[in-house]
Amino acid sequence: MQTKLSENKLEMNHAIEQAKKQREISISEFFTKNRHLLGFDSPLKAISTTVKESVDNSLDACEESNILPNIEVEIKQTTQERFQVTIEDNGPGIVKEQIPKIFGKLLYGSKFHTLMQGRGQQGIGVSASVLYGQLTTGKPAKITSKISKNKPAYYCELHFDTQKNEPEITRAEEVEWNKEHGTKIIIEMEGKYQRGKRSVSEYIKYTAVSNPHAKLTLIEPDGTTIVYPRATNHPPAKSKEIKPHPDGIELGILINMLKNTKSRTLQAFLTTDFSRIGAGTAKKICAEANINTNARPTRIAKQEADNLLQTIRKTKFVSPQTDCLSPIGEDLLKRSLKKEFDAEFFVTVTRPAAVYRGNPFIIEAGLAYGGSLNRETNAELIRFANKVPLQYQQSACSISKSVTRTKWKQYGLHQSNGNLPTGPLVIAVHMASVWVPFTSESKESIAHYPEIIKEIKLAVQECGRQLGKYVRKQGKVKDEAKKRSYLEKYVPVIGEALKEILALKDKDEKIINENLKDYLERSRKL
């Protein structure tokens, strides 16, 4: 009995011991330890992630304020391992009260709680760069912002309190800045600068392709300055915020919406808190779910909400409005491809809008084929999400999955199982959506939602069929020539061998070769 008791004590102690170790984890502690989730897994990527997050913010801010963006990125080497990254824009500026939280707090932003196509969406990006800079150099981020010509600019230096996920301003002052409005951020960090694939300059180049209204300047550590001038003076239409579409809505989200709505009746809730539910449909849904149209949304019980959901799932709705989405467009995408790639054949497709989890999205695809593109390697795949080029984690992306699962052999290309096709081909795919489901906080690849994969496949196949026609036409001509050249090449060799095998004389060889060629020609045509 004694032993039993102490055994029980031991067991209890285990549970209690484990309990003592339980602790809350702050979101910035979490991301410090998991900085690769935010795109900071290598010195090379650290700089490129920082540039990307800042430029994306600048483009978004300009777009919302109808300003033609003029963005300058400068990268300076300060020690062997450290770089100072500066991004300056002519955007609307940021009011000084917001600066600390925007740059010094993870999960803070304007886009998370709205449904609107934008480059940023999670409220993590640029503050993660500040966090990384501080983590690797101990230095604060330096921010200058001006919101009006008549006001002085505001300058501050800020630190990140990792344990609390809160910003700490270490210096602040008003400064002169010879600019009407804009924002400049300087972050020093451990890094590595390199050109080529997945580099900062590649990111800037592709960003210019998908944002022809922006002027972009890159000053590299060695002083090289690359300028992408504006290709158009028309800023794209401002993105519109929309209500969720009822397709794909989930019970938990529906319950939260019911709890937080300002609508006073279920009827009003359905027609105003969702898009694409008209008065008639709303009445029908209420009737089928057996709830009064005048019921107070906040008083709807879980079981009723579940009935409502089941009825919504059975109802057919008009497709979501697409005016909230801003695709690149078939014409512009084709023009961009023609500008960047020296190919013979181009085709682009913009699909109609589709929906996943209630979020409308549009897939666009384009192909460039032939010309001086490399014939021996796999096709090059270029991915965009809300006009931002995706440079990393290609293999994890649903764009890659859809493209590699497409049967490219039917379009006349070689393809080994599960790979990109081989040949002189560039494949570009763009997803525009009010909410792009990225596979990680660093927004490098798109998650595998079946609806998205299906749309990408359809877009790629549509392009593929056009390509197939072109390739087959080209192929027939070439094949014929190739086969003929094989004949010419091998017939004399076989003839020689036959001569030896059959111990014939030299003068017979010519006749043999003729007969042989004739025989093989005939058999090939069977």
Contact assessment for residue 95 and residue 111, using Cβ atoms and an 8 Å cutoff: no
* Minimum CB–partner distance for residue 208 and a copy of itself (Å): 24
For residues 110 and 7, what is the distance between their CA atoms, to the nearest angstrom? Answer: 55
Comparison of 27 and 487: residue with beta carbon closer to a copy of itself: 27
Q: Closest CB to a copy of itself among 204 and 324? A: 324
- Sign of the C-alpha dihedral computed for residues 192, 194, 197 and 203 taken in this order: positive
Q: Please, which residues bridge with residue 186 across strands? A: 86, 142
Q: From the list 6, 78, 148, 225, which residue makes contact with a copy of itself (rule: CB under 8 A)?
A: 148
Phi first, then psi, for residue 343 (nearest 5°) are -120, 175
The answer to whether 83 and 221 have CB atoms below 8 angstroms apart is yes
Q: What residues between 77 and 106 interact with a copy of itself by CB under 8 A?
A: 92-95, 97-98, 101-102, 105
- Give the whole-angstrom CA distance, residue 368 versus residue 380: 10
Residue (480 or 496) nearer to a copy of itself, CB: 496
Contact range with a copy of itself by CB under 8 A, out of 12-20, 275-283, 316-324, 454-462: 12-20
Single-letter code of the amino acid located at 174? E
Give, to the nearest 10 degrees, the angle between helix 279-289 and helix 266-273: 130
Q: Which member of 84, 86, 137, 211 binds a copy of itself (CB under 8 A)?
A: 137
What would the x/- binding string for a copy of itself be over residues 27 to 56, using CB under 8 A? x-xx-xxx-xx---xx--------------
Length of the chain: 526
- Residues 234-253 contacting a copy of itself, CB under 8 A: 250-253
Distance from the Cα of residue 71 to its chain's centroid: 21
- Which residues ranging from 489 to 508 are in contact with a copy of itself (CB under 8 A)? 497-498, 500-502
Q: Which of 68, 76, 77, 107 binds a copy of itself (CB under 8 A)?
A: 107
Q: Is 322 in the site for a copy of itself (CB under 8 A)?
A: no
Single-letter amino acid, residue 172: A
CB of 289 to a copy of itself, least distance (A): 14
**Based on CB atoms, which residue is closest to a copy of itself, 233 or 303?**
303
Q: With contact defined as beta carbons under 8 Å apart, do 355 and 245 qualify?
A: yes
Near a copy of itself in 260-319, by CB under 8 A: 302, 305-306
> According to CB under 8 A, which residues from 395 to 434 bind a copy of itself?
395-396, 400, 416-419
CA distance 203 to 226: 12
Residue with tokens 């006073």: 264
Phi then psi for residue 272, to 5 deg, are: -105, -30
Q: Is 172 in the site for a copy of itself (CB under 8 A)?
A: no
Residue 46 CB contacts under 8 Å (≥ 6 apart), including other chains: 39, 40, 132, 136, 189, 190, 191, 192
Q: Which of 1, 3, 21, 481 binds a copy of itself (CB under 8 A)?
A: 21
Residue 449-488 contact track with a copy of itself, rule CB under 8 A, x = bound = xx--------------------------------------
Binding-site member from 181, 184, 383, 387 for a copy of itself (CB under 8 A): 181
- Minimum CB–partner distance for residue 402 and a copy of itself (Å): 13
Could you tell me the two tokens for 217?
């300047």
The reply to whether 149 sits near a copy of itself by the rule CB under 8 A is yes
